[in-house]
A and B are shown apart, each in its own frame.
Chain A
Amino acid sequence: MMKDFQIQLVGVSKVYHANGLPVRALDGIALTVNAGEFAVLAGPSGSGKSTILHLIGALDRPTEGKVFIEGDDLYARSREGLAAFRLNKIGFVFQAYNLIPVLTARENVEYPLLLQRIEKKERLRRSEELLLHVGLKAQMSKRPGEMSGGQQQRVAVARALATKPQVVLADEPTANLDSHTGSALIDLFRELNDQYKVTFLFASHDAMVISRAHRVIHLKDGRVEGEEIQ
């Protein structure tokens, strides 16, 4: 993995409109995440955790400020350019509804590789290896509706890693899982972080997740309140 994949948020603010009223989700965020980090954005609901992930993942646009990826202004890109960035640089794991329901586990993992036009042999090799890694080799032919929530999250992790992304962004990945499954998922993330040196950035208020991160960034009311290195 590239060592210089640095994420920088400079003076980033995000204002949403809810029922016609402006809601300031982020307020002048300045934040740097370096390559290979295993960091968590911690804070109560509404503190801006998910919004930061969305902005780093090119899913949303800041109202003010800039997001720099490898020194380039991310939002200077076109819609197609942002889609290509998401495909090639980012792996997402969402809280729920992570998979395309009509595709099997293997096809879900293969999907971003198909978008990348990776040849079939390599697609099959990578998807099989990753599903084996997340302990789902036996479930490869199952569709999301035939799998448990934990299994679906693990397929999402395999898919997030399939394209060999620079950073995996995970939004409350354990929120819908029991404590045992959640802990096993974080173990898996740690292992992948060690093995592939992929940057992991979580949004979570789960104490278990926070306790196992290398770096915890505390957010409150859309601002960075402090950070700690563990």
Chain B
Amino acid sequence: MSTSVLTSVEQALQRIDAVNPKCNAMLEILGDSARLHAKALDEAAANSTRLPLFGQPIAIKDNICTIDGRTTCGSKFLTDYRSPYDATAIERLKAAGMIIVGKANLDEFAMGGSTENSAFGVTRNPWDAERVAGGSSGGSIAAVASGMVDYALGSETGGSVRQPASFCGVSGLKPSYGRVSRYGLVAFASSLDQIGPIARDVAGLARLLSVIAGHDPRDSTSVNAPVPDYESMLAVDAGPIRIGVAREYFSEGLHPETRAAVEAAIDVYRKLGADVREIALPHSRYVVPCYYVICTAEASSNLARFDGVRYGARAEANDYIGMYAASRAAGFGAEVRRRIMLGTYVLSAGYHDAYYLKALKVRTLIKRDFERAFESCDVILSPTTPTPAFKIGEKIDNPLEMYLADIYNCAANLAGICGVSVPCGFTAAGLPIGLQLMGPAMGEARLLQIAHRYQQATDHLTRRPAIYSV
């Protein structure tokens, strides 16, 4: 290895400067701190063993706290917020020798599926600038898809890594709940949130997951289980593969080209010798309403902290309650307000049992659907999204329609299981299509193994967007 870390960081920074104006993936480019860390690594590297991701530039979704630069959450409220600490996942990346080169765009507080809810402008899809990159981790995904970086971190509450990965033709993982510490991830819905790795291929996801996964005493919901070397597990013989396909994930509204690409992926697995069988997820029709009751309820509570006292922009008022209300009104965008209102409503006296408690019971049924399904299959295969990337502005005035874009994704977050999206083809118009595989809780090693088999047998990753050659 002759290239210095500084050289590869300079190359990434140049590439970001050239490409970012075309897609607005990065909210902040961390040139100074990236160079500083790179030089320090180059000086120390002579006497240290190089870890697999040593010197690799990475983009971080801007709801993950970093000491370097700002952490805005895509919100006007936190325009100038600087975190006094690094998230645990960030500490681990740094310890592995990775270099943070930028903070990536997102829907405000990760609420949305298109990055159109960012206070700092939409992220454009690297394959078609008229279309959304997806969301909420749209900036992190577009940074990888446009070749600015090979790695990024996103976060998921209900599909926010898998959905944009599908829209932009890269690979994205939602780890099982508790696999990765949430310490330093700005909370949206605490029983659903999880930081997820993003890379071009599954091998990249495996490499990154091994770095960020593991128990953290600062997050009592992080699971205390050993972290395998996920990348070396990819080379292990997967043995007989049992793939479950649920009719509920191929229902009306599924785009014909998406359906065709996913059916072709099923054939690939059949040719690899997999046993493809039908499974049932009978409570699927309740997933989206269940998800939106729970995530808005938790969000209304979590976002109470943004009151204009300890951080964020304060609006002046005569009394303290007026100050809270005015600061929050001035700082939050339309979708965040809507979700806070909805969450407050479903938790309020008189509605709590009909909405919130009911949703928690339905969540039990959804979780059981998956437990039962995984008794007869290793992974569940489906499209990641019902359609390819939609046009910017197409759904912005209809929040409900936007919510339905996550229809195949939210169940994994409700059930706490893991799921991955990998590219599985393109539409005739050249838009990427994503294949989703879901595995049982803490089943990442097997899930990635099975997804890796598919990538080895196909060549969808060789195609690159035109922006790639900028």
A and B are partners in one complex rather than unrelated chains: no
Which residues from chain A sit less than 8 Å from chain B, CB to CB?
none
